[in-house]
Homo-oligomer: A and B are copies of this chain.
């Protein structure tokens, strides 16, 4: 923190971001949901999915590529299956619209599925799953994105960074939550490395010619990322395409083109959520208690940080001390809000 940094509460940052989204073509409902999502990510210390994303949101809205006023259509297609047509809008309002019906189905059936199609997901994935764990449920989500990852053994980008997120409740602590790109690195982190002039670790990317590179610019300019963990990560990325696009009716990561929309940055694809109610299984001591036992065992085995823990620590600090934005970021947000 330097003298020129700004400190904001979560609600003040949310209000500022809401103004930006509304000013650039979002309905009040969509603006409120996206602003809360983005401000929460910033609060949790997610540099690549917090306010860093705002210029991309704005340029995409300006390009006409996404509909910031889309009203998602929720379809109750089967006792355990909710389908949402996001109608070329963002994925988060689609999830919000379907959430009550999804929860009702999970409680009744023990498991239910939410398939979102024709949606733009430009945010972190953990905010979509963590709330289910806070209600005692177990959630899995899959989102495909835009062709920037070469399948294992291939030479051309095809998959998106295709994250998988998982959340599970614990009896005595914040939920266990992970959100992992199936690429060797998240796309936002490549952009940050490029901006900061840092090299990438080995075996993370290839250049335009398909040759290994550690230069983030070469990856961004015609190059591509590799999957994490070799053929296994590549198979998981394929699974994400099948679940988030083929099963939802959304586009694959290689299906859409931004050519007619300069400035567009959000992938127009799909998202799948699977939510389970562990209490239906009558698992003896109870799921959250067993999860707590697992955490104790992981700590005893030497694992010092549980999935999600870094975010919870940053969240607590932000709630205590405010969310810190540097002067340039603050200035940029003021400009986007039309206040500068």
Q: What is A's interface to B at a CB cutoff of 8 Å?
A: 77-81, 83, 108-113, 115, 117, 138, 150-158, 166, 168, 176, 178, 180, 228-230, 232-235, 238-239, 241-243, 245-249, 252, 254, 274, 276-278, 280-284, 287, 290-291, 293-294, 297-298, 300-305, 307
Closest B residue to A302 using CB positions: B154
Q: What 5 new A-B contacts, CB under 8 Å, besides A156-B300, A246-B294?
A: A80-B110, A111-B111, A242-B294, A249-B284, A252-B294
State which of B113, B280, B298, B307 has its C-beta within 8 Å of the C-beta of A154.
B298
The 3 closest A-B pairs by CB, nearest first: A229-B229, A81-B110, A80-B109
* CB pair B111 A245 closer than 8 Å: no
Q: For A248, what are the chain B residues with a Cβ–Cβ distance below 8 Å?
A: 281, 283
Contact B77 A283 (CB under 8 A): no
How close is A79's CB to chain B, nearest CB, in angstroms?
4
Shortest CB-to-CB span from A78 to chain B, Å, is: 4
Q: Is the CB of A243 within 8 A of B138?
A: yes
Chain B residue contacts of A234, Cβ below 8 A: 303
Partner of A109, one of B79, B83, B150, B300: B79
Considering the chains assembled together, what is the distance between the CA atoms of A153 and B298 in angstroms?
10
Give the contacting residue for A108; candidates B78, B112, B228, B233; CB below 8 A: B78
Known: A78-B108, A79-B80. A247 touches B176 (CB 8 A): no
Shortest distance from the beta carbon of A162 to any chain B beta carbon, whole Å: 12
Q: A60–B228 Cα gap in the complex (Å)?
A: 37
> Which residues of chain B have C-beta atoms less than 8 A from A280's C-beta?
77-78, 81
CB pair A79–B77 under 8 Å, yes or no, is: no
Q: How far is the CA of A284 from the CA of B150 in the complex (A)?
A: 27
Residue A233 contacts which of B80, B115, B229 (CB distance < 8 angstroms)? Answer: B229
